[in-house]
């Protein structure tokens, strides 16, 4: 099975210096996370470190 990695790019300035966050997620031991949500992220928000824009 081939896997593909895709880089998120800022829609405003085109920067690849983007961070992803999970709003509403609380800190939990990583080895237990799969037991809670099956390893899937419900919602992601992205933020550009260059221009400050956020999107989801």
Instruction: Output the CA torsion sign for 34, 6, 19, 45.
Output: negative
Q: Return the DSSP state at 11.
A: T
Cβ partners under 8 Å of residue 36, min gap 6: 28
pLDDT at 26: 56
Q: What is this structure's pTM?
A: 0.60
pLDDT at 14: 96
List per-residue pLDDT tens for the chain, 56 residues long. 788 888 899 999 999 999 988 766 555 555 665 665 555 666 788 999 999 999 98
């Amino acid at each position: 099975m081939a896997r593909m990695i895709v880089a998120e790019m800022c829609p405003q300035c085109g920067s690849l210096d983007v961070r992803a966050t999970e709003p509403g997620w609380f800190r939990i031991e990583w080895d237990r996370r799969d037991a809670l949500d099956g390893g899937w992220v419900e919602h992601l928000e992205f933020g550009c470190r260059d221009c400050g824009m956020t999107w989801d």
